Amino acid sequence: MNWINYYKRINNKISTLTPLYFDCGELCNKLCCQDNGKGMILFPHEKEYIDTLSTDFTIIDKNNVNTLFCTGICKRETRPIACVIYPLFPYLYEDGRLDLKKDIRGKNSCPLYYDDIKELSLQPLFRLKLFALLEEMIKEEEIHQFLRMMTDELLTIEKFTK
Ligand code: SF4
Ligand code: SF4
């Protein structure tokens, strides 16, 4: 598998997607970029693609999962998948069901976490395009296993988050 070409193709499909019809960073002064001290978790082999880009990211291997640290500013087209899809995350359940849900880690910070303000509803095309792509991506065994692991972690965080 040529992972560089794989993620190049993925990136071409999603790099221009945005959750709202306008830049949601205007709502919160890009909180998720400013408050990223814990880093952004990369998909399996995504680092190989990011390494080919011109960025000032630092990527650290934490227990075999690559975590990206940034300065809070980046070029839109170099964003890792985790940033493009935020505030959603693909939950992949034990029975194989895929669900694109609000990421629990955004509960106390991202204005888009809640659905009660109509103007802040995620644009349907954002969800649809991501879901179609993720359905294809989970066919790759390593990505499947990665999302299973992340889903279990997020479900545990959900249990302890009020
Ligand atoms: S995803 Fe949420 S936290 Fe990040 S810029 Fe948009 S509204 Fe702000
Ligand atoms: S990589 Fe870019 S989009 Fe992601 S948190 Fe950093 S500055 Fe924001």
To 5 degrees, how large is the angle CA 69–CA 1–CA 142? 60
Q: Please give the Cα distance from 83 to 66 (Å, whole number).
A: 14
Number of independent structural domains in the chain: 1
The CA R_g of the chain, rounded to the nearest whole Å, is: 15
Pocket test for ligand 1, best of 28, 81, 83, 120 (most atoms within 8 A of CB): 28
- pLDDT score of 16: 87
Q: Please give the Cα distance from 121 to 161 (Å, whole number).
A: 23
Q: Closest-lying ligand to the alpha carbon of 106?
A: 1
- How remote is the CA of residue 148 from the centroid of ligand 1, in Å? 25
- How remote is the CA of residue 113 from the centroid of ligand 1, in Å? 9
Q: Name all contacts of 52-57 with Cβ < 8 Å and 24+ positions apart.
A: 52/4, 53/78, 54/78
Give the contacts of 90 (CB within 8 A, at least 6 positions apart). Answer: 98, 99, 100, 130, 134, 138, 147, 151
**Domain span including residue 91:** 3-109+116-159
- pLDDT score of 38: 82
pTM metric for this prediction: 0.93
Residue 37 Cβ inside 6 Å of ligand 2? The answer reads no
Contact 56, 71 (CB under 8 A): yes
Mean pLDDT of residues grouped by 10 in the chain (162 residues)?
97 91 90 85 97 96 92 93 95 97 90 86 93 97 97 93 76
